[in-house]
Structure 1
Amino acid sequence: MDGIQLLMEEHKNIIKLTQVMKEECIEILEGKAVDTQRFREFIYFCRVYADKHHHGKEEKILFRIMMAELGTVAEKLIRTGMLVEHDLGRYHLGELEKALEEYDKGPSSAVKLDVITNASEYAALLKRHIEKEDNVAFTFANRSLPLGFLELVNQETEEFEGSLEAEETKRQFDDWLSKQNIQ
């Protein structure tokens, strides 16, 4: 199993998820009420698939190995770039969740704006973030990590993927994603 390639494949799924979020935001702009249950599904899959499953592999495996083996450049790229953006994504999901709670208490244009703002900013952030990881961080890792450490990434990724929790997360997300109308 090529751990870095798997991360890049998962990025494609995460982009599909953010496309669905953006489409829901557009429908709100066109007059639809906020479907808070649908947005809670988005938050669930963002937290479970994108963050815990996908970012878990990045943070616990690839980024850990890169920072240990590739020195200051990797340290700066990861700590001040990739990890900051992971945290910013978590922030937007938390703010989206708060906006949904407010909407449930009393729908208003201001709360709709908070829903749209945080959902669309999360989507935009992840799009930019994925481009950086695919084109900079992952390319740097593939080019710079010695073969033995790339094999360690692959081995640890395979172990991570082999857990029952990881298999269930992938199955749930694949099922959900297959039911979405993605253009």
Structure 2
Amino acid sequence: MAVKNNDLGGLIMKATQQLKDEHEGIKLMLRIMEKIAMDVEQGKVPNTAHCERIIDFLKGFADRCHHGKEEDILFPELVKHGIPNEGGPVGVMLNEHVMGREYIKALADAVEELKAGNMHAATSFVDAARGYVQLLRAHIEKENNVLFMMADKVLDEKEQSALFDAFERLEAEKIGVGKHEEYHKLLKELKDAYL
């Protein structure tokens, strides 16, 4: 839950906690991707329909929604509070978002090749999946244990609550109402199938 109690007993919506909660869903998808990559390495043909749904999750939830909240709302606010972009932690996170998009494109290209019957694309799929998993795991650790801790020090409760509300609006605009729940159902379905 992305809330905390304030001194008056009321609930304050905490933006950084919402992002940490979303990281848990992304980390689960990374475990699923890792399992599929291991299966492919052992000669199994991947379920391309599942792979396409994973790519939709990565593009829609991880990138457009989650990274959108960071890039459009949180990071500019942190820069205003003196956390550097260029050569600083915000710039590093932004660069890693770009790298993640490159891996997602490589994954999507490999799945299209696999669907067309090119089994040589399995190697490209595994490489892209493993690269993305490695990048995102390290990225999430840096955000949870460095950047969000910095944010919690510079943003007061009112600012956290305002960011939380802005996150909710962005989510409705970028992925649509109810889509978040669909992604959670997908995570459960794929977890049951692979883990």
Per the TM alignment, residue 164 of structure 1 is displaced from its structure 2 partner at its CA by 9.2
Say whether residues 1:131 and 2:141 are aligned partners: yes
Which residue is equivalent to 2:104? Answer: 93
Which residue is equivalent to 2:5? Answer: none
User: Take 2:87 and 2:159, find their aligned partners in 1: how far apart are those partners?
Assistant: 16
Which residue is equivalent to 1:63? Answer: 75
> Paired residues, what number?
181
Where 2:81 maps in the other structure, the secondary structure is: helix
Q: What do you get for the CA RMSD once the two structures are aligned?
A: 2.2
Per the TM alignment, residue 166 of structure 1 is displaced from its structure 2 partner at its CA by 4.3
Say whether residues 1:108 and 2:108 are aligned partners: no
User: Take 1:12 and 1:100, find their aligned partners in 2: how far apart are those partners?
Assistant: 25
Q: Is the 8 A contact 1:89 1:122 kept in 2?
A: yes
Q: For residues 99-131 of structure 1, give each alpha carbon's deviation from its aligned partner in whole angstroms, at most 9, with x where no partner exists.
A: 22222333334x211000001111111111000
User: Take 2:90 and 2:81, find their aligned partners in 1: how far apart are those partners?
Assistant: 13
Moved more, 6-15 or 91-100: 91-100
User: Take 1:158 and 1:74, find their aligned partners in 2: how far apart are those partners?
Assistant: 28
Question: Match for 1:149 among 155, 159, 163?
Answer: 159
Which residue is equivalent to 1:176? Answer: 186
User: Take 2:54 and 2:28, find their aligned partners in 1: how far apart are those partners?
Assistant: 11
Q: For residues 133-158 of structure 1, give each alpha carbon's deviation from its aligned partner in whole angstroms, at most 9, with x where no partner exists.
A: 00011001101234543343233224
Which residue is equivalent to 2:46? Answer: 34
In percent, how many aligned pairs have the same letter?
28
User: Take 1:140 and 1:125, find their aligned partners in 2: how far apart are those partners?
Assistant: 21
Q: Scaled by the length of structure 2, what TM-score is found?
A: 0.83
Where 1:179 maps in the other structure, the secondary structure is: helix
Q: For residues 23-45 of structure 1, give each alpha carbon's deviation from its aligned partner in whole angstroms, at most 9, with x where no partner exists.
A: 11111112211322221111000
User: Take 1:113 and 1:60, find their aligned partners in 2: how far apart are those partners?
Assistant: 35
Which residue is equivalent to 1:78? Answer: 90
Q: Is the 8 A contact 1:3 1:157 kept in 2?
A: yes
- Contiguous gaps of at least 5 residues in structure 2: 1-12
Structure having the larger proportion of residues in helix:
1
Say whether residues 1:20 and 2:37 are aligned partners: no
Per the TM alignment, residue 86 of structure 1 is displaced from its structure 2 partner at its CA by 0.5
User: Take 1:179 and 1:54, find their aligned partners in 2: how far apart are those partners?
Assistant: 21
Letter of the 2:145 counterpart: N
Per the TM alignment, residue 178 of structure 1 is displaced from its structure 2 partner at its CA by 1.8
User: Take 1:121 and 1:60, find their aligned partners in 2: how far apart are those partners?
Assistant: 25
Question: Match for 1:8 among 5, 13, 20?
Answer: 20
Q: Is the 8 A contact 1:82 1:129 kept in 2?
A: yes
Q: Is the 8 A contact 1:67 1:75 kept in 2?
A: no
Letter of the 2:43 counterpart: G
